Amino acid sequence: MDLFADEKQNILISDAKDYIAKLFEGHSDGHDLEHSMRVFSNAVAIARKEPPCDMEAVALAALLHDADDHKLFDTVNNQNARTFLESNDVDSDKIEFICTIINSVSFSKNRGKTPDSPEGKIVQDADRLDAMGAIGIARTFAYGGKHGRPLDGGIEHFHEKLLLLKDEMNTKTARELAESRHAFLEEFLARFEEENNVEI
């Protein structure tokens, strides 16, 4: 189903998907195209259940939220996101708004800070949901494997980040979605500890 009644907006979203597909080519460590696409889907699903907001800004910020992630790209001032938005004639106020949303998403840079706008709250929640549940587990170990981190290091990451996310959701919709993802994290953790009980 198309996201917008206006065909021009749908084309912009589809072009943004093509743009990040090229940008993330060759990346597969959990900060990749699939992650951005899931954050987009999560964000749209949340936005549809929350009070009306700027769906175009939500969709574009979600798709572009990792386009300038410092772990992957050596850009400043959201250059990759801006390049796409400027070359597609998105107006400058909207570009600033989208970049503000993107900059409020990062977990490490924004501990304890809540985005000002409803759109920022939604995209932040969408990104955090993707670090929970089965996907969150898969991403943790994919990232750990790439960076030479043993499994135990992944488990540490559960305690440092993943298990905290449930209580940090901004929107009611995301808080509900986070419940079962959190329960699955705890179930996995208990099972992992049980099986990892090495006796010497």
- Judged by beta carbon, residue 75 or residue 152, the one nearer Ni ion is 75
- Judged by beta carbon, residue 68 or residue 127, the one nearer Ni ion is 127
Shortest CB 68 distance to Ni ion, Å: 11
Which two three-digit tokens encode residue 60? 């574009």
Q: Which residues bind Ni ion (CB under 5 A)?
A: 66, 127
Classified as helix, coil or strand, 70 is coil
Shortest CB 135 distance to Ni ion, Å: 12
Shortest CB 127 distance to Ni ion, Å: 4
CB environment 17-51: b (16+ within 10 A), e (fewer) = eebbeebbeebeebbbbebbbbbbebbbbbbeebe
What CA–CA distances, in Å, run from 168 to 105, 110, 135, 146, 159?
12, 11, 18, 28, 14
Residue nearest to Ni ion (CB): 127
CA–CA gap between residue 37 and residue 139 (Å, rounded): 14
- Judged by beta carbon, residue 7 or residue 171, the one nearer Ni ion is 171
- Judged by beta carbon, residue 4 or residue 107, the one nearer Ni ion is 107
Shortest CB 130 distance to Ni ion, Å: 7
